[in-house]
Each structure stands twice: as structure tokens, then as C-alpha cells.
Amino acid sequence: MKNSIVFLFLMISIFFSCDPVYNIDYNIINNTDGNIKIIYEFNFDPNVIDTSIIESKKKLILYNDSKIGSTSKAYVASLDSIYLFKSIQIFNSTGSKYIKDPLNIKSWHRMSKGDEGTVELDVRTEDF
């Protein structure tokens, strides 16, 4: 009987001591008729600038942020900036620059379901 109580206590302790996990993808979706070029720099990796080309009607996962200590719903709801990036520049196939501010959180769509979430920037032809 005593062992059963100890076992039950240990199982309850283990179950309730687990930290929540979130897994968030930062995506850029190209909804233009041509390729777009993305030039970006992360805050956590200064002086390293990366460039990617996204084909028309495709998406690019810029970064996957996965940590413990919060749910994806709470994490996505608490975002007040795109803090992971120092800079993001977007150009269309003719070299025109994206006219919106890609670092403004209001330009991004935020969604979460379970421990998965996405933060997406939808780039359209009229954004150039």
C-alpha cells in the first residue's frame, strides 16, 4: 500500500512538472507572379547576412523557433515584434523593394494550434 502511494505521488509529480513546449515557424509566402529575393540578418548571429530566392506561389521557412517554457498559443499572442531578425529586405524580380516594413509585427499573420505555430509574411504583387 505504501509503495502504491509513493508510486502514484511520483507519477503525478512527473506529469505535472513537465514544461510546455512551443515550435514556431517563421515563413515568408511569395504570392507574386515572379521570384522574390529575401536578404536577412538575425539578431543572434550578427554580421552574417543570408539571401534566399522564393519562387512564385511558394514559401520559405526563414527560421524555426522551438523552446520549452511556453505554449505556442501564448508565445504567438505575446509577440510584439519580429525580434529574431536584425533586418529583412525583400525585392521582386524587377528589383523593386518591398514597400511595407517587414519587421513590423502587424505585417505578419500569427497562428497556433497545439504546440505548433506559424508567423507568416504574405508578400503580394501590390506590396512593391
Domain boundaries, position 88: 20-127
How many residues are there in the chain? 128
Evaluate whether residue 83 is within a structural domain: yes
Report pTM: 0.77
Evaluate whether residue 102 is within a structural domain: yes
CB 88 within 8 A of CB 38: yes
Q: What is the pLDDT of residue 79?
A: 83
Q: How many domains does the chain have?
A: 1
CB 117 within 8 A of CB 111: yes
* pLDDT exceeds 90 at position 108: yes
Evaluate whether residue 15 is within a structural domain: no
Q: What is the pLDDT of residue 39?
A: 97
- Average confidence (pLDDT) over 9-26: 72
Evaluate whether residue 12 is within a structural domain: no
* pLDDT exceeds 70 at position 25: yes
- Average confidence (pLDDT) over 9-30: 76
Evaluate whether residue 119 is within a structural domain: yes
Which one of 9-23, 32-46, 90-104 scores highest in mean pLDDT? Answer: 90-104
3-state secondary structure of 105: helix
User: How far, in Å, CA of 111 to CA of 88, rounded?
Assistant: 21
User: How far, in Å, CA of 63 to CA of 30, rounded?
Assistant: 16
Residue with cell 515572379: 34
CB 75 within 8 A of CB 117: yes
Evaluate whether residue 14 is within a structural domain: no
